[in-house]
């Protein structure tokens, strides 16, 4: 990547108060920066900020006024509401071709910062810095931003299928087929691999189903870079930072020590991949106590091919590759290792996942599975799949034998009572 120069005040004009006319700033010379890509840490140093007038690579972003974005979203109409998260509310809008020079007519998503929310200017700026400089097919495209007074808005490409969270867990959504789930996993993995392989690595830090957006063809793109951090450089093995993220997705070593590495993202990917396999949320308080934390419940079952049917999403109705599922489970197990050094890199994850899309041993036709038995106390027993998935037939036979013995005892007891 070639280093380019221009003014930060020309990039974010509404966010900096100029004390000198812009014509005078062109004579200023910026200090040399060690890395080609600007980071949030570069801006956190006031002295560096004073001398960074001509450094940037964010000339591709469009600057919108609040008035323009109100027009685009029909004054942030409720009919344009798409959703909301930690950053704020998201609206759908349409940009006319004549609104900005060089900007084609298109549908967009406009994210409005909640001034009373958990995130603020720093997270907004992180989004602008990262997505303004990093471009990849599996990262959501940031079109531009608005910065007026306290108002902070971001304008993205519109993703027709919404978030993976909505598609996977919404009871009214159609079930995602097996190959579509793999395609989503591959796309998300490629996005993370791209971030990790930068000259200055980027740690995403908030990888979860709600931050993976899907276009009309179910291509996955990573969004929401508000918590992203630049990774360690040189001889450094990690960075230490305040623990942030979402419960159920964060790596155990990060939670315990605050040490952040790219392997923290790998663990989070493993959690999302497990959600794709099982159709369950990372944390679900509505389930029995031992099944509420997905990783804790499902990870031990991943290494036993004969028990995979106990955790696979029943909505798939067995329509998935047996061999592909085994390899996918083995990969998930590695990503979720408690020892971060034992986890694969995201490039290795991509290389492992891509061939799984070619497996053609997916059953055709209906699949029958046995509904879990519920005893008199209302406890649910692990379900067993039919023979098509080669589950533990020995346990099936044992269960039948036990039932047969119990039936014989009951008959014998009845005979004794009748004879009396």
What positions carry a catalytic annotation?
A: 206
List strands edge to edge, sheet with 62-63. 62-63, 142-148, 151-157, 106-113, 88-95, 81-84
| Length of the chain counted residue by residue | 420
Neighbours of 134 (CB within 10 A): 20
Q: Is 150 exposed, middle or buried (0-12, 13-18, 19+ CB in 10 A)?
A: exposed
At residue 55's C-alpha, the angle toward residues 53 and 59, to 5°, is 105
CA 370 centroid distance within chain: 32
Tokens found for residue 18: 């100029």
157, 109 contact by CB (below 8 A): yes
Helical ranges in 82-198 per DSSP H: 121-133, 164-169, 178-196
Tokens found for residue 363: 């059953």
Binding residues for ATP: 111
Which residues have CB under 8 Å from 241's CB, separation 6+?
Answer: 229, 258, 260
Binding residues: 111
């Amino acid at each position: 990547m070639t280093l380019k120069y221009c003014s930060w005040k020309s990039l974010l004009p509404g966010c900096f108060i100029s004390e000198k006319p812009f014509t005078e700033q062109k004579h200023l010379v910026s200090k040399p920066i060690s890395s080609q890509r600007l980071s949030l840490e570069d801006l956190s140093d006031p002295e560096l900020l004073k001398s960074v007038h001509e450094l940037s690579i964010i000339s591709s972003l469009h600057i919108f006024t609040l008035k323009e974005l109100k027009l685009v979203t029909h004054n942030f109409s409720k009919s344009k509401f798409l959703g909301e998260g930690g950053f704020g509310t998201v609206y759908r809008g349409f940009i006319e071709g004549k609104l900005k020079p060089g900007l084609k007519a298109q549908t967009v998503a406009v994210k409005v910062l909640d001034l009373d929310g958990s995130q603020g200017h720093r997270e907004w700026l992180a989004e602008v810095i990262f997505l303004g400089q990093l471009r990849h097919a599996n990262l959501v495209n940031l079109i531009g931003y608005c910065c007026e007074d306290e108002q902070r808005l971001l304008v993205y490409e519109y993703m027709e299928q919404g978030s993976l969270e909505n598609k996977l867990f919404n009871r009214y959504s159609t079930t995602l087929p097996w190959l579509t789930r793999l395609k989503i996993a591959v796309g998300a993995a490629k996005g993370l691999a791209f971030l990790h392989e930068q000259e200055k690595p980027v740690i995403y830090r908030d990888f979860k189903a709600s931050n993976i957006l899907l276009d009309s063809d179910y291509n996955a793109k990573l969004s929401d870079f508000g918590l992203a951090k630049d990774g360690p450089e040189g001889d450094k093995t990690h960075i230490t930072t305040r623990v942030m993220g979402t419960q159920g997705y964060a790596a155990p070593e990060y939670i315990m020590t605050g040490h952040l590495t790219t392997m923290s993202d790998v663990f989070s990917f493993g959690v999302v991949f497990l959600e794709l396999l099982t159709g369950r949320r990372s944390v679900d308080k509505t389930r029995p106590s031992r099944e509420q934390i997905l990783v804790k419940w499902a990870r031990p079952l991943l290494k036993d091919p004969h028990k995979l049917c106990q955790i696979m999403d029943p909505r798939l109705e067995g329509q998935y590759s047996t061999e592909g599922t085994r390899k996918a489970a083995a990969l998930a197990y590695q990503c979720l290792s408690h020892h971060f050094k034992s986890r694969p890199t995201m490039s290795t994850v991509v290389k492992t996942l891509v061939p799984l899309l070619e497996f053609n041993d997916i059953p055709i036709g209906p699949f029958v599975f046995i509904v879990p038995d519920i005893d008199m106390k209302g406890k649910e027993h692990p379900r067993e799949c039919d023979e098509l998935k080669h589950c533990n037939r020995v346990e099936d036979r044992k269960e039948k034998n036990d039932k047969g013995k119990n039936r014989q005892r009951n008959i014998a007891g009845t005979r004794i009572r009748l004879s009396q």
